[in-house]
Amino acid sequence: MKQRVLGTGGLAVSEIGFGTMSFASSYGEAPGDDEAMAVIRGAFDLGVTHFDTAEAYGPWTNEVLVGKALAPMRDKVTIATKFGWNIDPVTGERGPGLNSQPDHIVRVVDGMLQRLGTDRIDLLYQHRVDPGVPIEEVAGAVKGLVEAGKVRHFGLSEAGAATIRRAHATFPVAAIQSEYSLWTRDPEPDVLPLCAELGIGFVPWSPLGAGFLTGKIDTATQFEPGDFRAFSPRFSDEARAANVALVDLLKDIAASKGATPAQIALAWLLARRPFIVPIFGTRKLSRVEENLGAAAVVLSAEDMATIETACARIEIHGARLPEAVLQFSYL
């Protein structure tokens, strides 16, 4: 698989990465560790070298899983993880809201290194911007961790343009991670142009719309207990019935390219900007193989224009996340 570079510091990663949140409980009951590790290692065998986790996934259990799965190939991959929620660094108990106090960041990173079984974190994101802590203090704390050799690169997740600019002025930001796909285009007006201006990479999470853009979900789909989609406004019965128009578009484009809807959705992201590295998540190795096939799908300028024209006629129904989570985005 080809590589792309995130930021100006030379962080080279596979052009498509693998997000491991699906092995936590966000999509219902998580699979066993052996099954999950087989998929993660299978992704590596298929060319993925960039893997994404977070302390909040579990909390903690996902970092342990990723560390175990990637231990045999640690020096051949890059690992990203995230801090920022109010998780006790000793007990792992999750409190209300956020916590990006500098001393807290330093403490949680030591725990991350232990759980991941590594001596450095390749890309450390602030998971959500903490309005109670100036971003300059957050960037300064990560700078200290970079100087100590515990972290290689600094990232922000779901941050607004003004915050990104301020953080970057304090310490170079390598990557921004935010939700971005054909049905969630919030980063386009401000964040993506700023990334281009400052030389910052962009890592779309949920590039397949939490599975909806694959065409495998319809109004008859029943979600498992604990699956966040059961409570997401965009996955209500009414929203799914309306949003299928976008899936129909993807199916039409896919048929003309000998591809699948998922591959078209990912290929569209790859074609948008050369600094975009989407990370998808799945529990099935067959889906990993399918999704990575997107790298071989070529969308011409005419194809991209056709998609844009068609999308302009499609109204996406439902907020992308529940309000309790959305309140922490684009601060």
Q: Known catalytic residues?
A: 57
One-letter amino acid for residue 249 of the chain: L
CA distance 233 to 115: 34
* Distance from the Cα of residue 182 to its chain's centroid: 15
CA distance 247 to 260: 11
CA distance 275 to 18: 16
CA distance 284 to 260: 16
In the structure encoding, which two tokens stand for residue 169, read together? 């002025």
